[in-house]
């Protein structure tokens, strides 16, 4: 299914994708925890990167399941969201054979993608490693924080926008230090799987 680029919200290019070339890559992998920015970076690559923005990019929602890729052929780039299992690899292999390159948002470590071909040109980006994106988010929201509280949050939850928003929304008007201390005292963030869910594209805006 082809998508039209959507209106944009603020996007922090912490992976510095804008000025990078992907002409040599066949597979591009964004991997990290839920809420860490995988889909946002995938959307930036598909809709706004200078190398791909001139052509429509097919976007596949897998819903974490096996998917059919037989009708998607001849594209410069195909975007695939929610790779969580090796059972999805046959469809990825088919996409790689019938399109120039594929970009994925994945919960799997990039090591596993070598199963698609030892010589396959793969480029991977971790969305978990750079805490500067959370600093930029807090600065933009004008929410006070200390380096100690930010490190404590990342140690507990990783560099996750979603978990950070959960803690801040639970205690509005507080600094991260205060909200985190109250969260540790009264709350617990847990993850549960839903049988059905409606995916939503991130909206991106540039500084």
Q: Is residue 170 part of a domain?
A: yes
35 and 122: one domain?
Answer: yes
Residue 111 pLDDT: 93
Residue 130 pLDDT: 80
Stated pTM of the model: 0.83
pLDDT greater than 60 at residue 98 = yes
The mean pLDDT of the chain is: 88
51 and 94: one domain?
Answer: yes
Which one has a higher pLDDT value, 8 or 44? 44
3-state secondary structure of 77: coil
Residue 199 pLDDT: 67
pLDDT greater than 60 at residue 7 = no
What is the C-alpha to C-alpha distance for residues 25 and 100, in angstroms, rounded to an integer? 9
Into how many domains does the chain fold? 2
Nearest to 46 by CA among 202, 207, 165: 202
Q: What are 167-191's pLDDT values in tens digits?
A: 999 899 899 999 999 998 887 766 6
pLDDT greater than 80 at residue 126 = yes
Residue 96 pLDDT: 97
65 and 88: one domain?
Answer: yes
- Helix, strand, coil proportions of the chain in percent (round to 5)? 35, 15, 50
38 and 81: one domain?
Answer: yes
What is the C-alpha to C-alpha distance for residues 198 and 62, in angstroms, rounded to an integer? 11
- Residue in the block written with tokens 């990078």: 20
169 and 83: one domain?
Answer: no
Residue 79 pLDDT: 97
137 and 171: one domain?
Answer: yes
Nearest to 86 by CA among 60, 106, 69: 106
- pLDDT band for 4, please (50, 70, 90 cuts): very low
Q: Residue 182's domain spans which residues?
A: 132-186
Residue 53 pLDDT: 83
71 and 156: one domain?
Answer: no
Q: What are 24-74's pLDDT values in tens digits?
A: 999 999 999 888 999 999 999 999 999 998 889 999 999 989 999 999 999
CA distances from 22 to 17, 58, 85, 124 (A): 10, 17, 25, 11
pLDDT greater than 80 at residue 128 = yes
CATH of the domain at 65: 3.40.50.300
Q: Is residue 71 part of a domain?
A: yes
166 and 95: one domain?
Answer: no
């Amino acid at each position: 299914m082809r998508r039209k680029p959507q209106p944009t919200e603020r996007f922090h290019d912490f992976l510095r994708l804008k000025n990078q070339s992907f002409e040599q890559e066949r597979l591009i992998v964004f991997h990290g925890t839920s809420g860490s920015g995988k889909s946002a970076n995938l959307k930036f690559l598909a809709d706004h990167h200078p190398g791909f923005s001139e052509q429509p990019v097919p976007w596949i929602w897998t819903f974490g399941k096996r998917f059919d890729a037989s009708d998607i052929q001849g594209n410069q780039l195909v975007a695939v969201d929610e790779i969580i299992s090796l059972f999805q690899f046959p469809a990825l292999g088919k996409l790689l054979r019938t399109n120039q390159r594929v970009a994925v948002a994945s919960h799997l470590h990039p090591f596993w993608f070598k199963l698609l071909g030892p010589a396959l040109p793969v480029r991977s980006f971790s969305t978990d490693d750079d805490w500067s994106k959370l600093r930029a988010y807090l600065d933009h929201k004008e929410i006070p924080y200390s380096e100690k509280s930010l490190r404590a949050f990342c140690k507990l939850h990783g560099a996750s926008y979603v978990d950070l928003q959960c803690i801040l929304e639970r205690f509005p008007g507080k600094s991260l230090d205060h909200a985190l201390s109250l969260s540790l005292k009264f709350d617990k963030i847990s993850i549960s799987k839903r049988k059905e869910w409606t995916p939503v594209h991130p909206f991106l805006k540039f500084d």
